[in-house]
Amino acid sequence: MVLEGSSEAVCSPSSLELRPSGHRPSSSSSSSSSSSSSSPLQNHDAFLSNEKEPAQYGELIVLGYNGCLANGDKGRRRSRLALYKRSKANGVKPDVIHNISTPLVSKAFTNKSQHSISYTLSRSHSVIVEYSQDSSTDMFQIGRSTESMIDFVVTDTSPNGQGAGEGQSAQSTISRYACRVICERRPPYSTRIYAAGFDSSKNIFLGERAAKWRTSDGLMDGLTTNGVLVMQPTGGFSEGPAPGVWREISVCGNVYALRETRSAQQRGKLVENESNTLQDGSLIDLCGATLLWRTPEGLRRTPTLKQLESLRQETNAARPQCPVGFNTLAFPSLAQREVVDKKQPWVYVNCGHVHGYHNWGFRKEKGGGGGADERECPMCRRVGPYVPLWLGCEGGLYLDAGHPTHAFCPCGHVCSEKTARCWAQIPLPHGTHAFHAACPFCGTWLTGEQGYIKLIFQGPVD
């Protein structure tokens, strides 16, 4: 493995130049400040160039929030972020590698104009890789830190879209400087992901206990504590992909098989025939939150909020009825969240029969007695959870603009059949080594044979 930008793999006792000698590139520009845009789909001040319509690289969407954080999208803390071409390139690339003694490490860290990655091999030996400015790329950083060098602030996601609060951030499993995304400024705007982000001193520090190693080329690579995992879809995402294999991305952007556990010191095997280039539908897991990458081309195939609203109105115009109470049902507006409307449709998730709300049918002997516990469907007598139906509002999670005919179990989020089938097959990381399929709109683990159910409406909608 050769670091990007190197001319050859040559190792010397003290330092290794990864660039032609004779001149030194100017120091790299600092990461841009936070975005103050009111909408992730509108212009981001920090990312805009002087063009009227700057190139869009793609969008990052955090699973589990259904279009908006519980307390609202604010600045860099939001449920999705569109990455645009910056007015000035801020990318960096490997430049020079130094084998040095520990006293010089602190001296190197004082140079805040120089990006660098430090690998501590022992108390008496460290390797520092200096990075220089790369005018051909833009860099975006993701992490839990709210410092200005982080472009997308991401906190832990729990089921039902409830992110970790301010007071819980200390217990977060997401790194403060989790990863960085590098976008080519020229078409086709290839986008690559790397583990770890640069801190306020423009450094990435891998301590003695971090997983790191010398490569066969005499260079360095490493992994972060809880790792950055990526799953590339098999086949085009909008076409209905098969789940890919989860891999781990290193600090230098190489692809490895997963470690035995999330934070194990022994790395997995290098996967030489795979790359860190993101595709439409790539999933990025930061150990506490999972992000979906959508390309502009992929987003053009997904429904807009206007289209979702049109589908909602079309469904309601068919006047579905409760088969018992015979009252007309209607999906609430997309803006309404978590407050159940009296006309809202409910479903028995084990059979798919849609009803209006009724306060009977509990099966106390099976653990019921209130809320969404076990109920007996009056149509088919099947027993199971009884929950309100909610339309999925995050268009970027859809594979198509099909009619909302299926619901995830047991949460009741409704989407197209193609979208439900896809997400029910994708195992998402949980904890140190577990994987579970989950509703992409709220993060609830899926249950039942398929993880979703076809909705059976009384009336012309079926």
Q: How confident is the model at residue 5 (pLDDT cuts 50, 70, 90)?
A: very low
Alpha carbons within 13 A on the beta-carbon side of 45: 8
Residue-level pLDDT at 160: 59
Residue-level pLDDT at 363: 65
For residue 282, give both structure tokens: 């790539």
Q: How confident is the model at residue 103 (pLDDT cuts 50, 70, 90)?
A: low
Reported as a single tens digit per residue, the pLDDT across 309-323 is 999 999 999 999 998
Pairing type for strands 15-17 and 91-100 reads antiparallel
Residue-level pLDDT at 112: 73
Per DSSP, the three-state class of 94 is strand
Reported as a single tens digit per residue, the pLDDT across 8-56 is 332 333 344 454 333 344 333 333 333 333 333 333 444 444 446 789 9
Q: How confident is the model at residue 111 (pLDDT cuts 50, 70, 90)?
A: low
Instruction: From 346, 345, 348, 414, select the one nearest 380 (Cα to Cα).
Output: 348
Reported as a single tens digit per residue, the pLDDT across 232-275 is 999 889 888 888 999 999 999 999 999 998 888 899 999 999 99
406 DSSP β-pair partners: 415, 454
Instruction: From 5, 32, 35, select the one nearest 20 (Cα to Cα).
Output: 5
Q: How confident is the model at residue 191 (pLDDT cuts 50, 70, 90)?
A: very high
Are 232 and 176 in contact, with CB atoms under 8 Å apart? no
Sorted by where each begins, the domain ranges of the chain are 15-299, 305-454
Handedness of CA 390, 395, 396, 398 (dihedral sign): positive
More confident residue, 386 or 362: 386
Please give the full DSSP string across 362-387, using - where no structure is assigned: B-GGGT-SSTTS-EE-TTT--EE-EE
More confident residue, 17 or 2: 17
Are 328 and 319 in contact, with CB atoms under 8 Å apart? yes
Residue type, 226: N
Backbone angles phi, psi at 305, to 5 degrees: -60, -35
Taking residues 184-193, report their average pLDDT.
97
Model pTM? Answer: 0.84
Least confident of 176-180, 223-227, 340-344: 340-344
Residue-level pLDDT at 34: 37
